[in-house]
Chain A
Amino acid sequence: MSNQKKRNFQIEAFKHRVVVDPKYADKTWKVLEHAIHEIYNHNASGLSFEELYRNAYNMVLHKFGEKLYSGLVSTMTSHLKEISKAIEAAQGESFLEELNRKWNDHNKALQMIRDILMYMDRTYIPSNHKTPVHELGLNLWRDNIVRSSKIQTRLLNTLLDLVHRERTGEVIDRGLMRNIIKMLMDLGSAVYQEDFEKHFLEVSAEFYKVESQKFIECCDCGEYLKKAEKRLNEEIERVTHYLDAKSEIKITNVVEKEMIANHMLRLVHMDNSGLVNMLLDDKYDDLGRMYNLCRRVPNGLLTIREVMTSHLRETGKQLVTDPERLKDPVEFVQRLLDEKDKYDSIINKAFINDKTFQNALTNSFEYFINLNARSPEFISLFVDDKLRKGLKGVSEEDVEIILDKVMMLFRYLQEKDVFEKYYKQHLAKRLLSGKTVSDDAERSLIVKLKTECGYQFTSKLEGMFTDMKTSQDTMQGFYASHPELGEGPTLVVQVLTTGSWPTQPSATCNLPSEMSALCEKFRSYYLGTHTGRRLSWQTNMGNADMKASFGKGQKHELNVSTYQMCVLMLFNNAERLSYKEIEQATEIPAPELKRCLQSMACVKGKNVLRKEPMSKEIGEEDAFFVNDKFSSKFYKVKIGTVVAQKESEPEKQETRQRVEEDRKPQIEAAIVRIMKSRRVLDHNNLISEVTKQLQQRFLPNPTEIKKRIESLIERDFLERDNVDRKLYRYLA
């Protein structure tokens, strides 16, 4: 067995042609044809599947596939033609129902037929490039029913009519719609689109065009948007219920275009109800709706943003240039903060914190806050007010919130160096008068400024705090080493490092002898421990607490400025003093002296002095007396605090000049820094680099930069290139 050669058994096909009796083919076909009839007549139960299958199989096997196929086509076609008539005959409502029913029947029949003819489907059809049975069945249905001249238009119109009715509020048979639409989809996306969708979209566009026109004439913006939103949602729902999912985007585009895009500008700018009104009235819902709808159309959000920006800029501009508002700096800044809060809310609640809107808000604020050159000063005054009293009793968290909001405004400032100057002045006054509500709050703000602007910005401010602390220690040391002074007037000295504090030229002032002796003692004590330093008394910045007795025995404790103290002390040795005498004795400069006397003689409730004549102005010939009739319901009376105030015009000019002067070296330093690292640079790039470097503090004027460049050329820091005039070169 093992040695036997393996032999392949081959079964060979018949070597001779087997011709089947042609009558055999006819007979077989007749059987199948009959079966198809029966199937279409709902009589399939009497048929034998096995027999029919074999018949079909044999036909194909014996090369009669052609006959079988064409027979199928013609039989099916003739059945469909009859079905078509039946559908056409249906009246009114039953048209779609009939169509639907017949379609279901056809599918069932097709299924059975296909099963029977499966062998042909698998062999004859592919090799002869014929349409497979199932597909054939669909195509025939399409051509004979759906696209028959009598049905096609009627079908479309019926469907569109139903949609229209639903849109106008009627209830329709959605299930039926779904089935019919599904039929179209099954016939192929080309059929669905050509025979239905295309027209559906056109008709919808027309419908919404008309409707939107109607609405816009009679509705205000908010109402209109509600309606548009409603329609949009309806269409989306319609698609889920009975249309192809791919139609959703197409129909929503139609609604968006007709209802929103076409009327957008009119809506947004609508009088009394448009975007601006919604903003003014904080209509979050309406705004949110507008945002959602406009998002869907090209340039929708852009339009809203632009309108919001121009409105905000206009409002802001009015805010900062309104002369009424400018009278109270604290109110001014509070209004800015309120406006910011308002828009933060809107962007949060209605515009989903859209970053582009946040940026638009920032840009607008940056624009108008810098329209008023006093903004930096006012913000500093606001902070001053808060740190003096506004934050009393406020919790730590709330303090942080307020300071953070102020920092926001600060960031918008172009001239941050101007703010710094004022802040320093105001801080100095607060520190020296001991008037700050919370040390922690002060420090917290400094930290925030440092984070924002860098160490340089705040180093001097921190120096001021250090000086205060150090002075306390110094005072302790002074009194510890001079115990004999415990009996006399108490001296409190704050030693200020010149570079850190805002400079004020100190004027002449003759202190009363008791004070000057004490001051000298302090001076020698201090210089004893700090050789090489120079102390100069800033008599214009000090204050004093004095006990005073008046005519009827009233005693009061007066808190006065140093100048006022000097004047009052004179009255310990004289009953009557003329202006000239006072001036001579104290050597206080005239404008300050006049102000000081005014505050003590002409202000109700603070008139510890009496003046003859009783006029408001201080004249050179006036005489002064202690006001024996002075009364106040308080024991402690404060006269002439050194409170930070809005600057007068000349003071403002002076500050501005100083700021400008300070900028010059900063610009030059920036130029030199840049040129040192780049060695060679052209004019335009140099200007833009310098601007970039300085923008944290202020916006330098290109003309000013040019002046500084020329100054540096003159001083041989830079030179122009010989060949290319636009280039500058660094000279080491």
Chain B
Amino acid sequence: MERIDNVFYSYANKSSGLIDPEGIEALCSDLEVDHTDVRILMLAWKMKSEKQGYFTLEEWRRGLKALRADNVHKLKKALPELEKEVKRPTNFVDFYSYAFQYCLTGNEKEKQKSIDIESICQLLDLALGFQFRSQVDYFIDYLKIQSDYKVINLDQWMGFYRFCNEINFPGLSNYDPELAWPLILDNFVEWLREKQT
């Protein structure tokens, strides 16, 4: 326990008592992982971290205990296992949903509900790129050229994941716009179909 805390304090900001973005960057270089790597997001998930860019002591403890790591070396070794764990279907939905909410800014009072298009594109690439490469790439293309929506909300975010899982791509043969898909996906499919003809 003590060791975990010690590692925490080695990265934490002295005045705030939290690991801040600078600290995370340092951690990342020690882990030999890019700070935009999805594994950091996975780590945040494991910690159930609430605020993007910051780790509290409690979160840190939670994460490292779960990963059975009490130093950076062990932590690094635990990363592949963590990746496997996240990719398990039962966990992935949770992770995917977490990824969105983690990126929302704002405090308790004025919690943001949507994320701007540009950030969404990055997030999609990060969270889903390895699994549904083509869908993600096409969707990102579409998001950039459409003008109906300037932000994406959680409902649409989750809808896209279901879309990737359930709909034949690029055939789209089983997509039924009469069903309750979010409107943005109806428009996406229409755009795709137009391109295909």
Contact = CB atoms under 8 A, between A and B. Distances in A.
Contacts of A703: 183, 186
Interface string B165-192: 0000000000000111111001000000
Contacts of B87: none
A637 interface: no
B183 A720 contact: no
Interface string A698-711: 00000100110010
B179 A720 contact: no
A199 interface: no
B183 to A, nearest CB: 5
Contacts of A725: 162, 179-181
B133 interface: no
B114 interface: yes
A714 B113 contact: yes
Interface in A633-685: 682-684
A714 B180 contact: no
Contacts of A726: 179-180
A726 B179 CA distance: 6
A714 to B, nearest CB: 5
B183 A683 contact: no
Contacts of A707: 183
A720 B178 contact: no
A714 B114 contact: yes
A674 to B, nearest CB: 15
8 contacts: A682-B180, A683-B180, A706-B183, A710-B153, A714-B153, A720-B155, A726-B180, A728-B180
A703 B182 CA distance: 10
- The binding surface of chain A is classed by DSSP as helix
A718 to B, nearest CB: 10
Nearest to A683: B180
A710 B185 CA distance: 12
Interface string A404-438: 00000000000000000000000000000000000
A42 to B, nearest CB: 91
Nearest to A728: B180
B93 to A, nearest CB: 10
A684 B180 CA distance: 8
A683 B179 contact: yes
Nearest to A684: B178
Interface residues of B, number: 13
A36 B85 CA distance: 118
Contacts of B162: 725
A720 B178 CA distance: 16
A713 B155 contact: yes
A726 to B, nearest CB: 5
Interface string B135-155: 000000000000000000101
B116 to A, nearest CB: 15
Q: Sort A-B residue pairs by CB-CB distance and give the 3 closest, nearest first.
A: A683-B180, A714-B153, A726-B180
Interface in B102-157: 113-114, 153, 155-156
A714 B155 contact: yes
Interface string A191-218: 0000000000000000000000000000
A710 B179 contact: no
Given A725-B180, A727-B180, 8 more contacts: A682-B180, A684-B178, A710-B155, A714-B113, A714-B153, A725-B162, A725-B181, A728-B180
Nearest to B178: A684
Nearest to A704: B183
Contacts of A683: 178-180
Contacts of A720: 155, 180
Contacts of A713: 153, 155
Nearest to A715: B113
Contacts of B153: 710, 713-714
Interface string A716-732: 00001000011110000
B25 to A, nearest CB: 34
A683 B156 CA distance: 16
Contacts of B180: 682-683, 720, 725-728
Contacts of B179: 683-684, 725-726
A710 B178 contact: no
Interface in A678-695: 682-684
Nearest to B182: A710
Contacts of B155: 710, 713-714, 720
A707 B181 CA distance: 11
A175 to B, nearest CB: 74
Contacts of B114: 714
Contacts of B113: 714
A424 B73 CA distance: 76
A159 to B, nearest CB: 67
Nearest to A703: B183
A488 B41 CA distance: 81
Nearest to B158: A720
A720 B181 CA distance: 10
A33 to B, nearest CB: 93
Nearest to A711: B153
A671 to B, nearest CB: 13
A707 B184 CA distance: 9
Interface in B19-44: none
Nearest to B114: A714
Contacts of B183: 703, 706-707, 710
B56 to A, nearest CB: 27
A725 B182 CA distance: 10
A713 B156 CA distance: 10
A163 B76 CA distance: 111
A703 B186 CA distance: 10
Interface string A450-473: 000000000000000000000000
Contacts of A682: 180
A703 B156 CA distance: 15
A17 B27 CA distance: 140
A720 B179 CA distance: 12
B123 to A, nearest CB: 18
A722 to B, nearest CB: 10
Query: Which of A682, A683, A707, A710 has the largest number of chain B CB atoms within 10 A?
Result: A710
